[in-house]
Amino acid sequence: MPKDQKTVSEFKAIRPVEFTALHSGQNPNQTRIRVERSGDAGIYHEVAIRGLKQGKAIADVLVGLNEKGELRVLVTSDGDGEGDHAIAVYPERPRRQMVEDFN
């Protein structure tokens, strides 16, 4: 199998996983975390991590690459996991240059 086809089939094979979040064995708000692939196979291979309360998305984090190939983490704000991402974090950049605010 050519490398590109292997990469696409590996991406398509990733299945969502959802679980109850815990901190010190506790979860007072009954928050759940869902991790799933995101993007178009062969074009964008990203992972979405969502925080859920009573089935409603309260946070969305998207991890992937930007157009320059930098690792980028997009994050929503204000408890709105369905809204636009508010910031981008670039972990490979120096600390003072790693956060981009979209507001």
- Digit-coded pLDDT (tens) for 46-82: 999 999 999 999 999 999 999 999 999 999 999 999 9
Residue 101: Cβ within 10 Å count: 8
Task: Give percent of the chain above pLDDT 70.
Answer: 96
Q: What are phi and psi of 20, to 5 degrees?
A: -80, 130
Separation in Å, CA 89 to CA 5, 11, 35, 74, 102:
30, 23, 19, 6, 11
Q: For residue 2, what pLDDT band results from cuts at 50, 70 and 90? A: low
| pLDDT at site 3 | 58
What is the pLDDT of the chain when averaged over all its residues? Answer: 93
Q: What mean pLDDT do residues 21-50 have? A: 94
| pLDDT at site 13 | 84
Task: Report residue 21 as tokens.
Answer: 């979040």
Sequence-distant (≥ 6) Cβ neighbours of residue 54 within 8 angstroms: 30
Q: What mean pLDDT do residues 78-103 have? A: 95
- Asked whether 90 and 71 are in contact (CB, 8 A), the reply is yes
Number of domains in the chain: 1
More confident of the two residues 40 and 97: 97
Domain extent for 40: 3-101
| pLDDT at site 53 | 97
